[in-house]
Structure 1
Amino acid sequence: MRLLKLLMVVTLFTIMACETEEKNTAASVDEQAEKFKYWAWMTARADMSDSAYSSNFQKLKAHGLDAILINTGTDPELLRRITPLATDAGLEVHAWMFTTNRPGDTVALQHPEWYMVSRSGKSCFNADERPYVGYYQWLSPSHPEARAHILSLVEGLVKVEGVTSVHLDYIRYPDVFLPIGLLPKYNLVQEEELPDFDFDYSDAAVNKFKALHHKDPRLMDNPAIDMEWKNFRLNEIRTLVNEAYDLVHGYDKQLSAAVFPYPEMADHMVRQRWDKWKIDDVLPMIYHNFYNEELDWIGYATAQGIQDLEAKDVRLHTGLFVPELSAAQLDTAIAEAKANGAGGVAFFSANSLTDEKLKVVKASKEN
């Protein structure tokens, strides 16, 4: 009789343990589903009414969006006006800013010495010497006043009540190598680092480098193979990001960034090694069509970034280029990001999310 009672007790505890485990597993699955985050980039317009913004934000939230990255041209007043409209709709607000590339920056344009210079001696200050496009107006992170100006813009945005993070875009050097899918647009062949697209040979950067390493990159026969010169520029971006991180965390806010698809590629193409940064969230722009890749490359690049961040407490959210995706492809792209460990997806841009594509987003979130 005692043995029978003991067996009954053991059986009861086993059943209870199984039920608890099932509940915990289900809770864990639900928690993971809740954590997968949907973002969209958008550029603000001062002439757009509050009611129009509210309607748009409510529509995005109703279709599964969690966060909006708002570019106000680093105007804190416009951000201050729009932020409560988005948060009232249930969206997180992230203050999206152009960082080292500062097109039309009226303060910076008063200081020609703040700008990056190419190996061929062309300055991003001069309208007829900028690489690729006229809005490539790159400030040197090596110039202390240019750096201080950038950080002052970060501080202006982070002070806005309701902002979750400052979101750094163009936090890099100009493209040493363009994505292969864009080369025909500029009638370019880039099989090596070309002087017109290799930056920063400004006085500020060269003098700072010389003080550290006692050599002049302007006098090198092939600066592309000098590791100290390459690493110097990687570190100039890294330290700028780290300073921005400390600044925003001083206001109990976070730092996020739009980056190139995965660290090794970013290093090669734009002097950007984002797995070494102090950062809270990275949104790699895994725009497969820019690289003439198939949809499954989205999963590959996501997985590579996740692997490179393995030892760091940094969240990765896969950036998707919506205009080149059909509704069915968008569904596949989201699935690729999810399957390969992303913490969410970010859509470029909110304006490209048609009603058909918003339905895909909503269905993806509910599944």
Structure 2
Amino acid sequence: MKLKLIFGLLLLGLTAISCIDNIHPAGKAAKTEEAEQETADFKFWTWMTADAKRTDESYTAEFKKYSDNGLDAVLINTNADAELLARLTPLATAQGLEVHAWMFTMNRPGDTVALQHPEWYAVSRDGKSTFDNRPYVDYYQFLCPTREGSRNHILSLVDKLSKVEGVSSFHLDYIRYPDVFLPIGLLPKYDLVQDTELPEYDFCYCDACVEKFEELHHKNPREMENTAIDMEWKQFRLNQIKAVVDDAYKVAHDNGKILTGAVFPYPEMADHMVRQRWDKWDIDVVLPMIYHNFYNEEIDWIGFATGQGVKDLEGTGTELHTGIYVPEMSAEDLATAIQLAKDNGAKGAAFFDGNALTDEQLAVIKAAN
């Protein structure tokens, strides 16, 4: 009897082990498949600037290099030239790449149409227009988001570029005001200290903005003692940028395209630095430029800023793809940055910019697929 009992227990144990052996590989396989699916769904992008003088052959070689090394999409800046975009799009798609029409939006340096309308430009608190007084750098010529003429001009460019056949999205850049505060790592370059909102970097105080704000809130921002603490004035400007984005979203979608945008690292920081609250926008995909070295941060900050943005976007339906600044970044650091983006909920990673990607960095991207 005792031998039968022992034999029964041994048989039961062997059966249990057999069941565990049968369950474990399946569970392991399921987890492996899930991880592989997450990797497959993770998109790699690069920003690039086009030059009409380059040959089709040179562009085909560049697009092939990106595709061969695991990149999925190119964001092409043609300076709003729809004909150039239409020329390059089939070259890129032939190499298996998505094409996104990247355009400087509120910042329109050298825009020949806008330059005929000096009143369209943003005005600082000290009364200077970016038409002829440009903050920080010579290419900062920001338009006012409130004026009907400047808004309609921007939306006409969105319409023109998003109608190009084969383009996947219209990609907003500089969809904001000039920097109220520069990234801390850039301040020494301009010999600046910015511990308050300085009037020469505080926009927009043009007549159209002041009149519209007065209609809504019955006070004049030019007469405020401390504009930095007036939440209605701050919210007004956030809303003016949001209105341009939301209209661009309608235009892009009417043309069968999605809307994407390059934004500051996470919504609270973007709000503080450039009046940009992108978690409130109608937009399909955001690519926050989490350029850690601009902020004197360690590489792990890429994970923090990615996670913060993902959390702020919960429930919105907007995807976040982490923007990474590759110059001066080692291949090992790039591998870490990509993993940090994945671990903190990003749906992809975008690199600034294509010309700066080294062979070693491209190998990292290929291996991360």
TM-score range, shorter chain: over 0.9
Tell me: CA distance 1:328–1:20, structure 2 relative to 1, closer, same or farther (3 Å): closer
Tell me, yes or no, if the aligned pair for 2:159 and 2:255 is still in contact at 8 Å.
no
- Check if 1:323 corresponds to 2:327: yes
Residues 218 and 47 of structure 1, relative CA distance in 2, 3 Å threshold: same
Q: Provide the residue aligned with 1:4 in structure 2.
A: none
Deviation at 1:16, TM superposition (A): 8.8
Amino acid in structure 1 at the alignment position of 2:118: P
User: Which residue among 118, 126, 131 is the counterpart of 1:125?
Assistant: 131
In the other structure, the counterpart of 1:147 is: 151
The verdict on how the C-alpha distance between 1:20 and 1:357 changes in structure 2, with shifts beyond 3 A counting, is closer
In the TM superposition, residue 341 of structure 1 has moved relative to its aligned partner by: 1.2
Report the structure number with the largest CA radius of gyration.
Answer: 2
Q: RMSD of the alignment, in Å?
A: 2.0
Measured against aligned partners, the alpha-carbon deviations of 1:93-125 in whole angstroms (never above 9, x if no partner) come to 000000000000000000010000000001000
- Deviation of 1:312 after TM superposition, in Å, equals 1.4
For residues 41-190 of structure 1, the aligned pairs below 5 Å read 41-126=47-132, 129-190=133-194
Question: 2 CA distance for matches of 1:269 and 1:67?
Answer: 29
Moved more, 267-276 or 211-220: 211-220
Specify the SS of the correspondent of 1:47. Answer: coil
The one-letter code sitting in structure 2 at the alignment partner of 1:317 is: H
Q: Deviations over 1:183-232 (max 9, x none)?
A: 00111000000000000001111111111111110011111111110000
Give the letter aligned to residue 267 of structure 1. D
Alignment of 1:274-285 (within 5 A): 274-285=278-289
The structure 1 residue matched to 2:268, chosen from 264, 267, 273, is 264
TM-score by length of 1: 0.93
The residue that corresponds to 1:205 in the other structure is 209
* Contact 1:100–1:173 under 8 Å retained in 2: yes
> Which amino acid in 1 is paired with 2:95?
A
Task: Quote the Cα distance in structure 2 between the aligned partners of 1:245 and 1:28.
Answer: 33
**More deviation in 94-103 or 245-254?**
245-254
Deviation at 1:324, TM superposition (A): 2.4
Partner of 1:33: 39
Quick check: 1:288–1:297 contact (8 Å CA) kept in 2? yes
Secondary structure at the residue paired with 2:168? strand
Deviation per CA, 1:143-176: give whole Å up to 9, x if none: 0110000000000000000000000000000000
Deviations 1:244-299 (A, max 9, x none): 01111112210000000000000000000000001111000000000000000011
CA distance in 1, matches of 2:114, 2:250: 23
Whole-angstrom CA distance in 2 between matches of 1:119 and 1:150: 24
SS in 1 for 2:137: coil
Q: Which amino acid aligns with 2:162?
A: V
Answer whether contact 1:289 1:324 (CA < 8 A) is retained.
no
- Please state whether the residue corresponding to 1:324 is helix, strand or coil: coil
Cα 1:43/1:192, change in 2 over 3 Å: same
Give the length in aligned residue pairs: 357
Is the 2:135–2:200 Cα contact (8 Å) retained in structure 1?
Answer: yes
SS of equivalent residue, structure 1 residue 323? coil
Amino acid at match of 2:107: N
The Cα of 1:321 is off from its aligned counterpart by 0.6
User: CA offset at residue 355 of structure 1?
Assistant: 1.1
SS at match of 1:41: strand
Percent of pairs identical after alignment?
Answer: 63
Residue in 2 aligned with 1:255?
A: 259
Q: CA deviation at 1:338?
A: 1.2
C-alpha displacement at 1:13, in angstroms?
Answer: 11
CA gap 1:253/1:20 in 2 versus in 1, 3 angstroms? farther
Distance 1:211 1:173 in 2: 22
Q: Which runs of 5+ in 2 are unaligned?
A: 1-11
Is 2:300 aligned against 1:296?
yes
| Residue 232 (structure 2) pairs with residue 224 (structure 1) | no
1:27 deviates by: 3.6
Asked if the contact 2:184/2:294 (under 8 Å) is kept, the reply is yes
Mapped to 1, the partners of 2:72 and 2:173 lie a distance apart of 20
TM-score, normalization: structure 2? 0.93
Give how far 1:239 is off: 1.1
